[in-house]
Amino acid sequence: MSSAERLEGTGPAARVVDALRDAIAAGDFAPNQRLVEADLSEQFGASRAAVRAALLELTSEGLVERVQNRGARVRAVSLDEAVEITEVRMVLEGLLAAKAATRLTDEGQEQLRGIGTAMEHAVATGDLLGYSALNRDLHAFIRDTAGQRTAGSILERLRGQNVRHQFRLAMQPGRPSVSLPQHLAIIDALCARDADAAEQAMRAHLQSVVEALPTVETSRRTR
């Protein structure tokens, strides 16, 4: 992917990256499944060059791996690795939450409250996909508000590697009802501009994710 496409996020390769990442998260591509350039080119309506660049980008993120003489395939992330990734996220996202609390504007407060209200509505109506999208919006808002580019960059890579496990957890029946109060606690701490409380609320939320991941994997195997 060219540097311009990386910056703008609007080039053909960038669009394939987003589409392929979402497809892997949704389970359209299984762990260890081969990713054939010709097939992906047809599926996503993109050139082979754009697909090749997208695969290189996703390889750098740790979501795809290249096997000698066999091409690219979806990298399988074990449960143990998913837990480790989330533990690292706990530290980094706690830091970002603390920094965001000190930088939050009045307009940012309104945006956060809006996300919280939308989350409550999504849970009340059983909109799992909508709630999952709002979850991503909240974490992205905190990352952007914190202005800590190094931590933000590392988190983007970790999110890519863990996206499949996160999606499974988000779609688990009853999970939004568990995580909603945690997200609202994060929002309350941020709006109060309490850095310590924001960091602790974020850490508590991600500790809950660590504890929930093994139950999701067990549920998947017993279906």
E strand intervals along 36-158: 64-67, 71-74
pLDDT at 157: 76
User: In angstroms, what CA-CA distances link 211 with 40, 69, 96, 113, 184?
Assistant: 36, 39, 22, 27, 19
How many angstroms from the chain centroid is the CA of residue 4?
23
pLDDT tens by residue, 18-46:
898 888 776 788 888 999 999 999 999 99
Domain count, the chain: 2
| Token pair belonging to 19 | 């589409």
Query: Is 113 found in the same domain as 62?
Result: no
- Mean pLDDT (whole number) for 86-95: 95
Q: Could you tell me the pLDDT band of residue 13, with boundaries at 50, 70 and 90?
A: confident
CA distance linking residue 152 with residue 116, whole number of Å = 22
pLDDT at 103: 97
Query: Is 131 found in the same domain as 197?
Result: yes
Q: Is the pLDDT of residue 9 over 50?
A: no
pLDDT at 42: 93
Q: Could you tell me the pLDDT band of residue 5, with boundaries at 50, 70 and 90?
A: very low
Query: Is 89 found in the same domain as 58?
Result: no
pLDDT tens by residue, 165-184:
776 787 787 889 999 999 99
Q: What is the pTM of this model?
A: 0.75
The phi, psi pair for 74, rounded to 5°, reads: -70, 125
Helix axes 37-44, 12-26, angle to 10 degrees: 100
Query: Is 62 found in the same domain as 126?
Result: no
pLDDT at 61: 80
CA distance linking residue 202 with residue 182, whole number of Å = 8
- Mean pLDDT (whole number) for 153-164: 76
Using a pLDDT cut of 90, give the percent of the chain over it: 57
The phi, psi pair for 75, rounded to 5°, reads: -75, 130
Query: Is 204 found in the same domain as 101?
Result: yes
Tell me which residue range forms the domain holding 189: 79-221
Query: Position of tokens 């990298």?
Result: 75
Q: Is the pLDDT of residue 7 over 90?
A: no
Q: Could you tell me the pLDDT band of residue 217, with boundaries at 50, 70 and 90?
A: low
pLDDT tens by residue, 92-142:
999 999 999 999 999 999 999 999 999 999 999 999 889 988 998 999 999
Query: Is 12 found in the same domain as 108?
Result: no
| Token pair belonging to 109 | 């407060």
| Token pair belonging to 75 | 């990298």
Q: What contacts 24+ positions apart, CB below 8 Å, involve 195-202? A: 195/97, 195/98, 195/99, 195/101, 195/102, 196/98, 197/101, 198/97, 198/98, 198/100, 198/101, 199/94, 199/95, 199/97, 199/98, 200/94, 201/97, 202/90, 202/93, 202/94, 202/96, 202/97, 202/142
